[in-house]
Amino acid sequence: MTGDDVRPQTLELSDGRHLAWRVYGDPDGVPCVYTTGTPASGLAGALHHDAARLGGVRWISVDKPGYGLSAFQPGRQLLDWPEDIVALAGHLGLDRFAVAGESGGGPHALALAHVLGSRITTAVVLAGMGPGDQAWVREGMKRQNRIMLGLAQRAPWAMVPAAGMMGWMLASPRRAERYMRKQAAVSPPADRELLADPRIRQILLAATRDAFRSGPRGAAQELTMLARPWGFGLREVPVHVDLWHGAEDVNVPVAIAKAVAAELPDCDARIIEGAGHGVAWTRLEEIMQRIVTAA
């Protein structure tokens, strides 16, 4: 089975919403619940499929509320995410498991670690976002990200049309290709090289388009949520955190990773020289080994 063959599964939650996920990697391997970046559906887990299969990791890639096949959750807060994952873990029979979050999924992984504590073997943060309500988080970010964070904080009502424009751009192959070229143009060399890989581009575009499957509300809501206080402090995360971050990242500047790592009580931070926002794709074997070791 390849990553393209993986089919989504869904679970009805106690409030009537549906939560969707896909299992990549080794179906009998060490379980890791993966939260994708913003905006991307669980299809982004396909980027980790081969490494997870070879490394013996069951890579459970979840659609966040309003993305892909997961229903929108009115009034969603970051600390609502653990409740959804507890339901999923119960459905899958998972007692203890690793969690991983990439980019905007990083805060989700830390929220899971904060709430679930000893059920989490390690929290893996990959190019993870920092507390978006802090002004210093925007320092060094590329212009588009700074604008979106600022807009989310000062004019959250404008996020739906802003996200809708992104969805419109991606809906057309011609516009999507132009969008990807623009992203590459403002990326460091390491990310431009990754984005030139047809397989990576294909998966990223599919996952981002799928995030807008039911409209822009999910992306708008998540961007606004990440720009507000998380509801917990980094010093309140009781679980070991394994962090990877690219020194050349302009989506989430490396200063954020260093500040986050310094606040966390128990964190192994790996700052990778020459890497950008796609740092995870250059360290997949190492990441999977760490998840298995922590089990």
Domains observed in the chain: 3-294 (3.40.50.1820)
pLDDT digits (tens, 9 = 90+) for 227-267: 889 999 999 999 999 999 999 998 898 989 999 999 999 99
Of 165, 166, 133, whose CA–CA distance to 149 is shortest? Answer: 133
Contact 33, 60 (CB under 8 A): yes
CA distance 236 to 222: 22
Question: Which H/E stretch holds residue 177?
Answer: helix 173-185
**DSSP letter assigned to residue 28:** T
CA distance 242 to 123: 6
CA distance 193 to 190: 5
pLDDT digits (tens, 9 = 90+) for 152-210: 777 777 888 888 988 998 888 889 888 888 888 888 999 999 999 999 999 999 999 99
* Rg from Cα positions in the chain: 17
pLDDT digits (tens, 9 = 90+) for 117-131: 999 999 999 999 988
pTM: 0.94
CA distance 258 to 33: 24
The predicted structure's pLDDT at residue 162? 86
Alpha helices in 93-197 (DSSP H): 106-116, 143-154, 159-171, 173-185, 189-195
**DSSP letter assigned to residue 14:** T
Contact 55, 98 (CB under 8 A): no
Residues of the chain with pLDDT > 90, as a percent, come to 76
Angle ∠(182,183,188) on CA atoms, nearest 5: 120
CA distance 201 to 231: 34
Residues of the chain with pLDDT > 70, as a percent, come to 96
pLDDT category at 16 given cuts 50, 70, 90 is very high
